[in-house]
């Protein structure tokens, strides 16, 4: 069971942002997607999550076609993502930001919600507890009531992750999750990712940090100018001359 992109292309008028991309993200493994800036990595994620229309090709999850699925159908297909430019809700507290991630699980009737009936309140309590568990896991329990807009960068990234995890996805698309973090923080996230993968989650990791990617990923894809120029095990791919040429100017640290 995996997330598969088959010959996926994206054209904006005359510009080809993605060119016949083939990617497979298997469950239980961490797959990397790297490439220089502007290569089209976020475009791929946007197409998978339904924010951009696919010009050509097919995207499927476990055999089910999600090429033209709407954003909430994608959510129901158990895909979650984080955003490259952090998109937390600044007006709400950290806890509230996570709570919204549980939206998919909230099933109480609209009337119950409006009137504050016990069924709605019990559900809110339940997800409140689940949110607190996440907070503990990420070591941010003390920040539960903190307004999200005032968090440090690293914490905002973790908040995004907690929110994505709240929907209990089977596949996570992480768009530069450790940008701006120090080594301690990124190491603890690396552990988390490995833990998630071991529980059966399929992870697509977009990152610039080559060391991070090669440590975590069994298989990586390299994108340049919208095209896949290499794929395979990190040790092999990173020695590929074409890949090195794409990263002209040396490694990104």
Interface pick for another protein out of 1, 51, 233, 236 (rule CB under 8 A): 51
Q: Which residue, 161 or 220, is less far from another protein as judged by CB? A: 161
Produce one character per residue of 87-118: b if its CB has 16 or more CB atoms within 10 Å, e if not.
ebeeeebbbebbbebbeeeeeeeeebeeeeee
Please report whether residue 132 would count as binding another protein according to CB under 8 A: no
Among the candidate windows 17-25, 29-37, 141-149, 193-201, which touches another protein by CB under 8 A? Answer: 141-149
- 139 is an interface residue for another protein by CB under 8 A: yes
What b-and-e string marks burial along 156-193, b requiring 16 or more CB atoms within 10 Å of the CB?
Answer: bbbbbbbbbbbbebbbbbbbbbbbebeeebbeebbebb
156: left (phi over 0), alpha (psi -120 to 50) or beta: alpha
Q: Distance (Å, rounded) from C-alpha 201 to C-alpha 15?
A: 34
DSSP class of residue 35? Answer: -
Question: Cα separations (Å) of 189 from 85, 126, 195, 197?
Answer: 18, 26, 10, 12
Position 85 contacts another protein (CB under 8 A): no
The region of 25-33, 74-82, 190-198, 213-221 touching another protein under the rule CB under 8 A is 74-82
For another protein, the closer CB: 8 or 237: 8
In the complex, minimum distance from the CB of residue 98 to another protein, in angstroms, rounded to a whole number: 10
**Binding positions for another protein, 182-241, rule CB under 8 A:** none
Q: Binding of another protein at residue 92 (CB under 8 A)?
A: yes
Residues that bind another protein (CB under 8 A): 12, 49-53, 71-72, 74-76, 80-81, 83, 87, 89-92, 96, 99-101, 103-104, 106, 108, 110, 113-116, 120, 123-124, 139-143, 145-147, 149-152, 155, 163, 167
């Amino acid at each position: 069971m995996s997330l598969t992109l088959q010959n996926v292309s994206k054209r904006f008028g005359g510009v080809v942002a993605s060119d016949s991309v083939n990617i497979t993200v298997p469950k239980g493994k961490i797959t990397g997607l790297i490439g220089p800036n502007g290569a089209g990595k976020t475009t791929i994620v946007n197409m998978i999550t339904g924010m951009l229309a696919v010009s050509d090709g097919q995207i499927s999850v476990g055999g089910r076609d999600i090429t033209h699925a709407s954003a909430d159908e994608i959510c129901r297909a158990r895909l979650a993502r984080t955003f490259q430019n952090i998109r937390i809700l600044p007006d709400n507290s950290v806890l509230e930001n996570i709570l919204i991630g549980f939206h998919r699980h909230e099933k109480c009737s609209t009337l119950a919600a409006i009137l504050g009936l016990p069924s709605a309140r019990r559900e809110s309590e339940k997800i409140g507890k689940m949110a607190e568990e996440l907070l503990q896991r990420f070591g941010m329990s003390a920040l539960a009531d903190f307004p999200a807009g005032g968090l440090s960068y690293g914490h905002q990234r973790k908040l995004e992750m907690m929110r994505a995890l709240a929907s209990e996805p089977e596949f996570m698309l992480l768009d530069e999750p450790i940008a701006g973090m120090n080594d301690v923080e990124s190491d603890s996230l690396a552990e988390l990712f490995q833990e998630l993968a071991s529980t059966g989650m399929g992870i697509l990791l977009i990152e610039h940090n080559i060391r991070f990617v090669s440590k975590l990923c069994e298989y990586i894809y390299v994108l340049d100018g919208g095209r896949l120029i290499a794929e395979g095990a990190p040790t092999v791919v990173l020695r590929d001359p074409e890949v090195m040429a794409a990263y002209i100017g040396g490694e990104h640290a």
